[in-house]
Structure 1
Amino acid sequence: MPLLDIRNLTIELDTPHGRVKALDRVSLTINPAEIHGLVGESGSGRSLLARAILGIPGHNWTIKADRMLWDGHNLLEMSSKQRRNLMGSEISMIFQDPSGSLDPVICVGTQLVEAMPENKKLPFWRRTADKKKTAKKWLHKVGIKDTQKIMASYAWELSEGECQKVMIAMAIANQPRLLIADEPTNSMEMDTQAQIFRLLTKLNQLQSVSILLISHELETLSIWCDKLSVMYCGQIMESGPTADILAHPYHPYTKALLNNIPDHTGRIAHKSIMRTLPGSAPALQHLPIGCRLGPRCPRAEKKCVSRPNLSHKKNRYFACHFPYHEETCNEDTTASS
């Protein structure tokens, strides 16, 4: 049974320009002990999806879904208290804005200790000291050397990179069943990024923690993730095993992302312009009808003004009227709403 099963999730936002669909029939499945990558441009709705899973919607949100199950339990039928308890114990998130997510008037160490579970096997008078010791251990694991100084500091005294490391330590210290990591290595140097990804992978392998890894860097996700979901402008373009998507992308957007990965072999001339998909993502108040990639898609035709259904071939899903390799997948493709 999937740990998280979302089908046809739609989020509508009330704006001064009217109601808009920020997410349009998004489906996502995460299995136990799986690292699932969610890739897309800025503004594609990745963070909205993460907040919907956590149960922290905005005041102007309207959420609808055919089903939204956590370990077989319907998230949409849970009370606010049940969702908070779930977020504090079984689901953790590394937010994209670390300094804004930390309380500026409480020192970092106090916030970290408060977020950690108690070891009830110890006598109550030893639990606080044990939590402080464990907090320093996790801070050291995420690349902080002077743990005592960081714990005594406030968020506004730390750099963005240090705040990000504190947020990661806070999220993984609870050892959740699902960890949602929204751009977890922003503002970090390259060697620290690799250290963080190795730590997350170790959690996944040794403690069976499922991870939803959100990023705009397809090259990075392709290294660490078992499965990938490609998102554009609030719609899922393609989903499936990472190796299969990299070898044979069905959707034109996925193929464009792969074609635009920088070539590190040294063949590109100095200061040459990088390859990109023509055009830009539309604003929420000017979303195109049908497939939202249509105005930028190199394979778009008149039929694309109608939204393509999510098609299924073996363990691959894609939403496109004119997919690549269609001569090999048309016979086996079935449409589902």
Structure 2
Amino acid sequence: MLMTEEKKAVLQVDNLSIAFDMADGKQTNVVEAVSFQVFEGETLALVGESGSGKSVTSLAIMRLLQMPPACITSGKILLNGKDLLQMKLDDMSSVRGNEMSMIFQEPMTSLDPVFKISNQLIEGIRRHQPLDKKQAFAIALSMLKEVGIANAEKVIHEYPHQLSGGMRQRVMIAMAMANNPKLLLADEPTTALDVTVQAQILQLMLKMKEEHGSSILFITHDMGVVAETADRVMVMYAGQIVESGPVEQIFTDPKHPYTKALLQTMPSLATNERRLPTIPGTVPSPSNFSAGCRFSPRCQHAMDICDRTIPAESSFESGQIVRCHLYKEKEVAAHDT
């Protein structure tokens, strides 16, 4: 869907930079000057390889980074106009699980193994709603049914280890949506699941988003998942957003060399190639970021300027914004034409 002026930003991140204390005693930025918005009712995908800074960004939004060693050196994180970085940590407990929720990659690390599913659901519901245990239990049972657990009356009395990975992830979605949050952060929620269950969980998340009127910030390295779920895409590399735009434009006309490389690594029925292309090298560690474009050491289009100068952003009529020396603002209109 296309964003219009009428759409309100549920989440607004402005100039966010995050540093970590390194072994040599210095602070190094791992996320730098990141800005974006998540609008009402949309799914925004944040995509990139492991080590690109996606999960660190999501943890900063939830105020779950351990400080130290982490430190937010600049920026604002506005949720429905409230700056989360100015809130006391104690006050954040009224925001997490209520105004915004998070689904993590591995539910076994998020669900408490010593408590039944009922206890964990009821605790989250009663923390944010003035209900007694019986009323909260009824909502918990209803949510399990809503996420497609057929034998919910049995599952609600079981422990996490008694459930399959897909069932545990459904329970996590039920917990995340129980208080009707306006924003759902999903950090690689299907990575640990087989392909069939992955598709079911993705469909379920989109269904829950529509029924509860929520927005989703979907964090993934899988461009196939992006194609299935997202309205807009942000491509992150080495702590910076290098390209963003509507999902259709990113897939049909990618502009940044890194975005193009990511898309080329996707399997396709249109080719008979047995070996998929790979991107040479790896994402650099924060202490080895290039002084110019951080992708330049791996880029087949790299020029001398790429190693020396940070590229400025270029905006296209298609809605794409690209950080690359291949494009200059004055040439963008001609390129679009």
Closer, same or farther in 2 for the Cα pair 1:65/1:19, shift >3 Å? closer
**How far does the alpha carbon of each residue in 1:230-261 deviate from its partner, in whole angstroms, 9 at most, with x for none?**
11121111111111211211211111112221
8 Å Cα contact 1:251/1:324 also seen in 2: no
Which residue of 2 is the match for residue 195 of structure 1?
Answer: 200
1:284 to 283, 286, 296: 286
8 Å Cα contact 2:166/2:201 also seen in 1: no
**Partner secondary structure for residue 89 of structure 1:** coil
Which residue of 1 is the match for residue 168 of structure 2?
Answer: 163
**How far does the alpha carbon of each residue in 1:32-62 deviate from its partner, in whole angstroms, 9 at most, with x for none?**
1111111111121111111111111212111
Which residue of 2 is the match for residue 37 of structure 1?
Answer: 45
Question: Is 1:313 aligned to 2:316, yes or no?
Answer: yes
Which residue of 2 is the match for residue 137 of structure 1?
Answer: 142
User: Partners of 1:267 and 1:326 in 2: how far apart?
Assistant: 40
Tell me the amino acid that sits aligned with residue 4 of structure 1: L
**How far does the alpha carbon of each residue in 1:297-331 deviate from its partner, in whole angstroms, 9 at most, with x for none?**
11111111222223333432111111499954468
Q: Structure 1 residue 87: deviation in Å? A: 1.4
User: Partners of 1:246 and 1:159 in 2: how far apart?
Assistant: 34
Name the stretch that deviates more: 41-50 or 134-143.
134-143
User: Partners of 2:297 and 2:271 in 1: how far apart?
Assistant: 33
Tell me the amino acid that sits aligned with residue 62 of structure 2: L
1:10 to 9, 14, 17: 17
Which residue of 1 is the match for residue 253 of structure 2?
Answer: 248
User: Partners of 1:66 and 1:105 in 2: how far apart?
Assistant: 39
Q: 1:1-337 counterparts in 2 under 5 A?
A: 1-17=8-24, 18-59=26-67, 60-116=69-125, 127-265=132-270, 267-268=272-273, 272-305=274-307, 306-314=309-317, 315-323=319-327, 327-329=331-333
Name the stretch that deviates more: 83-92 or 153-162.
153-162
Which TM-score applies when normalising by structure 1? 0.87
**How far does the alpha carbon of each residue in 1:113-140 deviate from its partner, in whole angstroms, 9 at most, with x for none?**
21125776xxx6xx43333233233223
Tell me the amino acid that sits aligned with residue 124 of structure 2: A
Give 5+ residue unaligned stretches, structure 2.
1-7
User: Partners of 1:242 and 1:325 in 2: how far apart?
Assistant: 22
CA RMSD after TM alignment = 2.5
User: Partners of 1:230 and 1:58 in 2: how far apart?
Assistant: 25
Name the stretch that deviates more: 41-50 or 256-265.
256-265
Closer, same or farther in 2 for the Cα pair 1:66/1:331, shift >3 Å? farther
Tell me the amino acid that sits aligned with residue 198 of structure 2: Q
User: Partners of 2:230 and 2:110 in 1: how far apart?
Assistant: 26
**How far does the alpha carbon of each residue in 1:135-157 deviate from its partner, in whole angstroms, 9 at most, with x for none?**
23322343433334433333344
**Partner secondary structure for residue 142 of structure 2:** helix
8 Å Cα contact 2:311/2:323 also seen in 1: yes
8 Å Cα contact 2:202/2:229 also seen in 1: yes
User: Partners of 1:322 and 1:182 in 2: how far apart?
Assistant: 31
Closer, same or farther in 2 for the Cα pair 1:25/1:119, shift >3 Å? closer
**Partner secondary structure for residue 280 of structure 1:** coil
Which TM-score applies when normalising by structure 2? 0.87
**How far does the alpha carbon of each residue in 1:168-190 deviate from its partner, in whole angstroms, 9 at most, with x for none?**
21111221000001112233343
8 Å Cα contact 2:16/2:72 also seen in 1: yes
Tell me the amino acid that sits aligned with residue 22 of structure 2: T
Closer, same or farther in 2 for the Cα pair 1:78/1:255, shift >3 Å? same
Tell me the amino acid that sits aligned with residue 323 of structure 2: A
Tell me the amino acid that sits aligned with residue 318 of structure 1: V
8 Å Cα contact 2:17/2:75 also seen in 1: no
User: Partners of 1:174 and 1:230 in 2: how far apart?
Assistant: 30
8 Å Cα contact 1:7/1:27 also seen in 2: yes
Give 5+ residue unaligned stretches, structure 1.
333-337
Closer, same or farther in 2 for the Cα pair 1:231/1:330, shift >3 Å? farther
**Partner secondary structure for residue 322 of structure 1:** coil
**Partner secondary structure for residue 9 of structure 2:** coil
8 Å Cα contact 1:178/1:212 also seen in 2: yes
8 Å Cα contact 1:142/1:169 also seen in 2: yes
**Partner secondary structure for residue 276 of structure 2:** coil
**Partner secondary structure for residue 233 of structure 2:** strand
**Partner secondary structure for residue 205 of structure 1:** helix
8 Å Cα contact 1:249/1:324 also seen in 2: no
8 Å Cα contact 2:10/2:80 also seen in 1: yes
8 Å Cα contact 1:35/1:227 also seen in 2: yes
Count residues with an aligned counterpart.
324
Which residue of 2 is the match for residue 335 of structure 1?
Answer: none
Tell me the amino acid that sits aligned with residue 12 of structure 2: D
